[in-house]
Structure 1
Amino acid sequence: MPLKVGDIITFERTFTVRDVELFTEVSRDEGSHHLTPDEQGRLVVQGLLTATLPTKVGGDYNVLARNMNFEFLRPVFTEDRIICEVKIEKYEWQEDKNRTAIVASFICRNQQEKKVLKGDFSGVILDS
């Protein structure tokens, strides 16, 4: 079923120590806060790893991103449950270009319902 303006897509994920280790290896983001556990045994999740939540939703709908804006509001720790809500702001077929233009905003909250990340993205969905 195609998306429409006002649709909200929700995705949730709990980041693990292994997720942070793998992302550290791939990204080379080796800040000590990603490698050294805090007094509760948690690591700080890389911001761009947290940002994979809204990009996952974009991937589910085959969005080719043109712009992505992220505002990192507070740290995310391993074992935090993060819920991402993506709201479709624009979804418009462009006949002359044979594609759909899409604009979406998103907000991610932790298990205490505190905002950890917000932003928006825009892009296109090519006619397949």
Structure 2
Amino acid sequence: MTDTFEPGTIYLEDLEIGMERGLRKVITDRDIEMFAEVSTDHNPVHLNDDYAKGTMFKGRIAHGMLTAGLISAVIGEQIPGHGTIYMGQTLKFMAPVRPGDEVLAVVRVSEIDEKRRRVTLETVCSVGDTVVLKGEAQVLAPSRN
């Protein structure tokens, strides 16, 4: 998989099993602070160094849903892309993401139901060789028809 893709749409008629897209993003302190403001989740494990050092993580971590938001970005911008409607998403959080980590979010087509315009997508986020989040999304893909 290459790391750069242009935003746009891959229509239902052009999708194929195994097709994938992704993005890389370094998670910054500012990202975490902004996510806390937007979500109103001010859990100190995300925002307070002293508090977080006393947790099982031994330091601050990003919100899990901030990481999951990268999957949404790939789905909404790349595959299937513009016009896609989210139907559902499962998520399993496997490891923490810390400020400064570079996350790779990858979305891969695993099933296509052309009659209903439904597409099932395998979703994975990793930091280096460590899978930090995995799941599956169901979307309504845009169609030319």
- TM-score, length basis structure 2: 0.76
Cα distance in 1 between the residues matched to 2:124 and 2:142: 25
Q: Structure 1: 5+ residue runs without aligned partners?
A: none
Q: How many residues align?
A: 121
Q: Structure 2: 5+ residue runs without aligned partners?
A: 1-9, 54-58
User: How is 1:40-79 mapped onto 2 (pairs within 5 angstroms)?
Assistant: 43-60=60-77, 61=81, 62-79=83-100
Match of 1:91 among 112, 116, 131: 112
CA shift digits 1:19-38 (9 cap, x unpaired):
01110001011111111136
Map of 1:120 onto structure 2: 136
Map of 2:7 onto structure 1: none
Deviation at 1:126, TM superposition (A): 3.6
Cα distance in 2 between the residues matched to 1:9 and 1:106: 10
Higher strand share: 1
Deviation at 1:84, TM superposition (A): 1.6
Deviation at 1:4, TM superposition (A): 1.1
When the two chains are superposed, the root-mean-square deviation of aligned CA atoms in Å is 1.8
Runs of 4+ deviating beyond 6 Å: none
Map of 2:119 onto structure 1: 102
